[in-house]
Amino acid sequence: MKKRNVESKTIVYDNNFVTITKETNQELFFEIGDIVTTDVAEAVAIMIVKGSSGIWDVLIDNTVEVDPERCLYWLSGGQKEWFMPEHYNTIWSNCYLEFQEEFGFMVVDIIRKSKTLGDVRSGFIKYLNLPILYDFAISRNLIK
């Protein structure tokens, strides 16, 4: 009889809203409310938008792959702005490529230079904050 290989998880952080586990392959797995992701950039962006605290000392592997589109969605307003656009004059699926072309490399560079979730957060706040993203959207006529 063969033994079944069961992946083990290590809890890295847990509170009532955010749970971070590390898989056996060392990948971080984020559960933020009802959102689940393995994308570090997306997770940090969601936690910034949702107002998480006490989590920023968690170490990350800065060589992980990220999808800048996911992170930029949240940093530019997330579900509140893109589900039923109140300030934008289009939906996310019509303009995400413009955001990704302008800021995608910056997201990857911030992750590459970061050692903790807090480093990622600081980079996003400094270089990808909402006023910067809104100014870009205004320059592309994406704002009403």
Confidence of residue 7 (pLDDT cuts 50, 70, 90): low
Taking CB atoms within 8 Å and a gap of at least 24, the contacts of 94-100 are 95/137, 95/140, 95/142, 96/69, 96/72, 98/140, 98/142, 99/69, 99/72, 99/133, 99/136, 100/68, 100/69, 100/72
| Domain positions in the chain | 10-139
Lowest mean pLDDT among 39-48, 58-67, 113-122: 58-67
Confidence of residue 112 (pLDDT cuts 50, 70, 90): very high
> Looking at residue 140, what is its pLDDT?
96
Return mean pLDDT, the chain.
Answer: 90
Stretch 99-125: mean pLDDT = 97
Convert the pLDDT of each residue in 56-89 to its tens digit.
999 998 888 899 999 999 999 998 888 887 889 9
Burial state string for 93-112 with b = 16 or more CB within 10 A and e = fewer than 16: eebbebbbebbbebbbebbe
Dist CA 51 CA 94 (whole Å): 28
In this structure, the number of other CB atoms found within 10 A of the CB of residue 134 comes to: 17
Q: What is the pTM of this model?
A: 0.89
In this structure, the number of other CB atoms found within 10 A of the CB of residue 37 comes to: 18
Stretch 30-50: mean pLDDT = 94
Stretch 88-95: mean pLDDT = 93
In this structure, the number of other CB atoms found within 10 A of the CB of residue 41 comes to: 29
Dist CA 65 CA 86 (whole Å): 32
Structure tokens at 3: 């033994």
Confidence of residue 5 (pLDDT cuts 50, 70, 90): very low
